[in-house]
Structure 1
């Protein structure tokens, strides 16, 4: 099967660096599939999943924020956060979701509300991805 070079990087580590058969990643406009020989492409990442198909298997990660860039040399995902499903501490994610929900029930400024809303979305995404193991 045809492959392309994929590099997934966060601020603290090189998350993945190797050949991939395809990926599916959540952008701010929805899920996008990338296959070998994809046209040049750049998109902002949303809060969602990143599925990497590699050597006949797939592995899912929770991702939030960043960019995906496809070029003739390969595909690069520069993510604010990225965790494999089996790395997610589900209890910690549930606690984060509860804290964010509690904040949203308080009187907040618009900015504080937006921050709490994003925290809730990230926690819910991590719970969903961890459940997809």
Structure 2
């Protein structure tokens, strides 16, 4: 089973139900690794990096605060601003969506 991820910005859907093995998020309640079938949570995001992992492939997305809703089916994130970063946190070219 995979984790469905949806990330929404004022510009539209950045990630639209793409499936990942896990997600690492930084919330005001603490940093969390999310796996499929996670317990439901609603929290606010800190300024930080969301890491989405699918096998050995990882996407690092810097978010500027926002909201996250986690349930057994996946993760939904709403943020005002985001951009991709590399493993060291350096900003990368960011497409309109993944």
Separation in 2, partners of 1:36, 1:77:
16
Question: Which one has a larger percent strand, Structure 1 or Structure 2?
Answer: 2
Superposed structure 1 runs of 4+ greater than 6 Å apart: none
| RMSD, aligned CA | 2.0
The question of whether the paired residues in 1 share the 8 Å contact of 2:69 and 2:75 is answered with yes
Provide TM-score, normalisation by structure 2: 0.80
**Equivalent residue for 1:31?**
31
Separation in 2, partners of 1:56, 1:7:
20
Provide TM-score, normalisation by structure 1: 0.60
Larger relative contact order, structure 1 or 2 (CA cutoff 8 Å, min sep 6): 2
**Equivalent residue for 1:6?**
5
Larger Rg: 1
Deviation at 1:77, TM superposition (A): 0.9
Separation in 1, partners of 2:59, 2:74:
19
Residue segments in structure 1 that go unaligned for 5+ positions in a row: 87-127
Tell me if 1:52 matches 2:12.
no
The question of whether the paired residues in 1 share the 8 Å contact of 2:36 and 2:72 is answered with no
Residue segments in structure 2 that go unaligned for 5+ positions in a row: 92-98
